[in-house]
A and B are shown apart, each in its own frame.
Chain A
Amino acid sequence: MKLFVSEGNPHCLKVLAALQVSGVQCDVQYVNHDERVVPFLSRPALPALLLPSGLHLFSSNAICRYLFEVSGQDCSELCGQWLEWEATDLQPVLLQALHTAVLQGKGSEVSQVLKGSLNHLEQSLSKGNTPYLTGDAVSVADVVLWAALYPVLSDSSLALDERKCVKTWFDRGAATQSLQSAAQKVLQGKGLQGMKNYMQRQPAPQSSQCRDTQPCNSSPAEGEESERLVSEEEMAAAALTWSTGLSDGPSATNRQHPILPKEGKRNLLVTSALPYVNNVPHLGNIIGCVLSTDVFCRYGRLRDWNVLFVCGTDEYGTATENKAREEGLTPQEICDKYHAIHASIYKWFQIDFDYFGRTTTVKQKEIAQNIFWRLHEHGFLVEDTVEQLRCENCQRFLADRFVEGICPRCNYPEARGDQCDKCGHLINAVELREPQCKVCRQTPVIRSSKHLFLDLPKLESQLELWLNKSTSTGDWTANAKQITRSWLRDGLKPRCITRDLQWGIPVPHPDFKEKVFYVWFDAPIGYLSITANYTDKWEKWWKNPDQVELYNFMAKDNVPFHSVVFPCSLLGAQDNYTLVSHLVATEYLNYEDTKFSKSRGVGVFGDMAKDTGIPSDVWRFYLLYVRPEGQDSAFSWTDMATKNNSELLNNLGNFINRAGMFVTKFFDGCVPAMDLQQEDKKLLALVGWELQRYIQLMDKVKIRDALKHILNISRHGNQYIQVNEPWKKIKGGDTERQRAGTVTGVSVNIACLLSVMLFPYMPTVSQTIRDQLNAPESCMSTMLQGTGTFVCTLCTGHRIGAVSPLFQKLEVDQIEALKKRFGGQQVLDVYDA
């Protein structure tokens, strides 16, 4: 056993005194202040006790307790209470006092700082009327507190004044040999100044009153329970807004196709990354792209922005070519088949595209070839001979995805020929070590072929100029900016835009007759051609940067193509193309404790969701709840059930249902008279604030955060009903019944607001609520205007419809069965209860 102490360290007083009092045999070693004796602590902690078993004690109080216990003196409850008080209450102020006294020389301020603690001691000692803290004998509490207070109390400048009991008790301690000897060893007779060296190494103490950084482990539930303080003005303002009622704005649901930019409105051109036709999308793809985009677009339409949402399937490339060969169909037939599958999956998820197209169209060929020629004319294409991998066995040049090998950068053994899955860097297939043809596993040979390259370095300065403006003025997600920056830092190189394949857009240049465009060159052009298939006035969107704001939604692996390669193509074409203003990229969604894998049968893929019996809106809700924004997240069946049961059923559904039921049962189905009291106005203000935050967040595409505010509102609503007990008051006298009426009326109006806020997330539920409440259509357009206006939409006398529960409970056995079904070969149950 060994005790480590350092000179000038006030905490060592306790342990040295305790060692002597307890009479325990122990080696004492003096070390420097910055010595890290305790192996697992990043910062030096002294004193420390190395126990016989090899464990370390780094708490001075625990060390003292141990020494006393070993010598036969137990620590009573009262004793323990003093030690807890010393650690949580006394030490912080003591540190401040010492800091002031030792480093700032302000001895006089010390008594102010210590006032509260000394008073507490005085009170306890005088009440207890015993010579020592816990009774008639010295306990570890006395030793610890004496030692803790010794440095400040022994300094003559601090007078104990009228605190007679403390003085008497302390003097007893100061007189003990153990304390005096410990003080001598630690302070070396230098008093407070003996601690200067130690104190200089300690972080400056923060006064416990003024912590600006919110302590990070205050439970989030606490944040909800502690209500925002609402001022009188806020309450009056909320009540005023409430009384303005519905505005006569245009109905948000009437859409006239084709949607074209309008003067005087915010014109949003919104794209979601085109899914590759061959792959059935899984939940991660869905949340990353189309679902996020859909929520934002639905919201945007409610905000009366002029929104065009286009998307479609990306169909060219070798994967389709190969699939066609496998299934004995033509590539076009494969695309037709899978395009329909995509379309139906998105329809089930209620993705409200304005147009869902495909890349295999005449317009795509026209536009891509046009851009190509313009790039050629303006000198942004260079020719080069490229070495490519050719599989002699399969008799073809291998497309990137058909070569697998070891990544030259990070040694990942399953790197593909265009991008390494592990480190994410783009590579050229010939750079792979130990390449293999994915189809026949033979080693391919290198053959030369002439190709065309987009001269990115030549376009770099233009790109940077534009990027600086776009990233600073637009709502780019942090990861998008970071990925783009690192791409630029690595240095731009010319990118090959042609391939030796058949299924693709033919390169119109005579020297490159047998070649097609590389899929990543033509895919983003798909956004333009899909729009062109929607309306022949597509250039009003795509060649109109002054009037149009372009939003691109995608998962993070697509960022470089959308922020660097494609903009370069458009800049080089010099045709006043609209470039991306806001790039929204999500992180990855994992599946339970692993990743989605079609081949291993792990995870839920688009078409399977509807067979689970869980409604589309619930899927939408949960995926948006766990939307991987700042970091990766995971889909969890158990968590989905929990969120469904707690948030949808018990919080949202419960509130909306109760509000409606009260109107039906107690007020004959008509909204009663509402006489707003202070309490009601306070609720209106709180709800209004949540609505404001929702709008602020959604405007910035913070979809996941905005959802929380909807749930906060219904939580407020539930509390409001709970506190006011309308089901009881309705049986009372006139005033009580009036109260019940007001509470019910306000509640259904909140329910109506919720239906509007929910619309982007759960469109069917939103419609159902409005049907049940028989809400007027104009409520949709009124409440999300400006910074949010929570008005009374259902006035006194309004007749509501038939009310019924909105959500079903997800039972444990139902969830367990689903988990097994989608878990692949082996499923590990995380909660083996």
Chain B
Amino acid sequence: MALRELSSLEKYLGLKKPNKYSTQGDKKIPVLQNNNGPPLVGLVTIACHLVKEAKRPELLGDSAESRAVVQQWLEHRVTKLDGCTKEDMKTILKDLNLYLQDKVYLAGNQFTLADVFIYCGVHPLIVDLAVQEKEQYVNVTRWFDHIQHHLGLKHHLPPVVVLRNRIYTSRHH
């Protein structure tokens, strides 16, 4: 899973030569053999490395603050999202929904790697949401639809249909 995500990221970044990855441990942590030194271990670490390799540092944030925010969401993905239970899922979506109320992207006004990571992380949750639930988490759904359009065909995850019209406007459904 992590390997497919990294290969999608390479495509998105326009990196010509795909890297060779391996995994370690039961959790299948991705490993990248680095010509210039010891291997890089970890999804976040490798992804940040790819961004630098592609010379797109703005994807990690363009100020100290936004860089910290991006790192925070990347960490959130690999600690709280991956392997969460169904009960956790509702809380995660609820919090994310509140967070995204006044933001276009996770780091504010700029598309960053954080958006890609969280998009991949919540994709399996969003895919299973009913129409009512998608409307309940209206900000997450808006952001999600935006990101999936932005990534377009350069990503391996199938698009999710997001309805434009609110069907359920009353609370008790």
Contacts and interface: CB of A to CB of B under 8 A. Distances in A.
B85 A213 contact: yes
A833 B153 contact: yes
Interface in A47-101: 51-53, 55, 57-59, 61-63, 65-66, 69-70, 77, 80-81, 83-85, 87-88, 91
B161 A59 contact: no
A216 B75 contact: no
Contacts of B163: 590, 592-594, 634
Given A216-B124, A590-B167, A62 B75 contact: yes
A820 interface: no
A631 B134 CA distance: 12
A61 B167 contact: no
Given A39-B98, A634-B163, A642 B68 contact: no
Contacts of B122: 217
Interface in B69-84: 69, 71-72, 75-76, 78-79, 81-84
A828 B162 CA distance: 12
Contact of A57 (B72, B86, B121, B149): B72
A585 to B, nearest CB: 16
Contacts of A632: 130-132
Given A215-B83, A219-B124, A830 B162 contact: yes
Contacts of B44: 80, 84
Interface stretch (B6-14, B15-23, B87-95): B87-95
B73 to A, nearest CB: 9
A376 B152 CA distance: 67
B54 interface: no
Contact of B108 (A55, A77, A631, A830): A55
Contact of B41 (A51, A85, A830): A85
B165 interface: yes
Contacts of B123: 217, 219
A62 B89 CA distance: 23
Q: Which size bracket describes the interface of A in this complex?
A: 35 or more
B71 A65 contact: yes
Given A41-B95, A217-B125, A77 B45 contact: yes
Contacts of A595: 167
Contacts of B91: 42-43
A755 to B, nearest CB: 28
Most buried by A among B43, B48, B83, B164: B83
B48 A58 contact: no
A69 B68 contact: yes
A31 B48 CA distance: 34
Nearest to B157: A219
Interface string B40-57: 111111001100100000
A635 to B, nearest CB: 10
B68 A40 contact: no
B164 A422 contact: no
A59 B76 contact: yes
A232 interface: no
B18 to A, nearest CB: 20
Q: Which size bracket describes the interface of B in this complex?
A: 35 or more
Contacts of B83: 211, 215, 217-218
A160 interface: no
B142 interface: no
B81 A217 contact: yes
Contacts of B94: 42
B79 A87 contact: yes
Contacts of B71: 59, 61-62, 65, 80, 83
Contact of A594 (B64, B69, B161, B165): B165
Contact of B45 (A39, A80, A213): A80
A639 interface: yes
Nearest to B159: A831
A491 interface: no
Most buried by B among A215, A222, A833: A215
Contacts of A828: 164
B1 A219 contact: yes
B119 to A, nearest CB: 12
B124 A62 contact: no
Interface string A603-638: 000000000000000000000000000111110101
A832 interface: yes
Most buried by B among A57, A84, A410, A423: A84
Nearest to B127: A220
B45 A84 contact: yes
B99 to A, nearest CB: 4
Contacts of B152: 833
Contacts of B125: 216-217
Contacts of A66: 64-65, 67-68
A53 B65 contact: yes
B75 A215 contact: no
A422 B75 CA distance: 43
Nearest to B86: A216
Given A65-B68, A84-B75, A218 B124 contact: yes
A217 B82 contact: yes
A66 B29 CA distance: 26
A41 B123 CA distance: 20
Given A40-B98, A593-B163, A593-B164, A77 B40 contact: yes
A39 B100 CA distance: 12
Contacts of B131: 590, 631-634
B79 A81 contact: no
Nearest to B64: A69
Nearest to B96: A40
A131 B161 CA distance: 53
Contacts of A634: 131, 161, 163
Given A62-B68, A422-B170, A87 B75 contact: yes
Contacts of B64: 66, 69-70
28 contacts: A40-B99, A53-B65, A55-B65, A59-B75, A62-B69, A70-B64, A84-B43, A84-B44, A84-B75, A87-B75, A87-B78, A213-B86, A216-B85, A216-B86, A217-B83, A217-B84, A217-B124, A218-B1, A218-B124, A219-B1, A222-B1, A422-B170, A590-B131, A593-B164, A632-B130, A639-B161, A830-B162, A833-B152
Top 6 nearest A-B pairs by Cβ distance? A66-B68, A631-B130, A62-B72, A40-B98, A215-B83, A84-B42
Given A57-B72, A62-B69, 4 more contacts: A69-B64, A83-B75, A84-B75, A638-B161
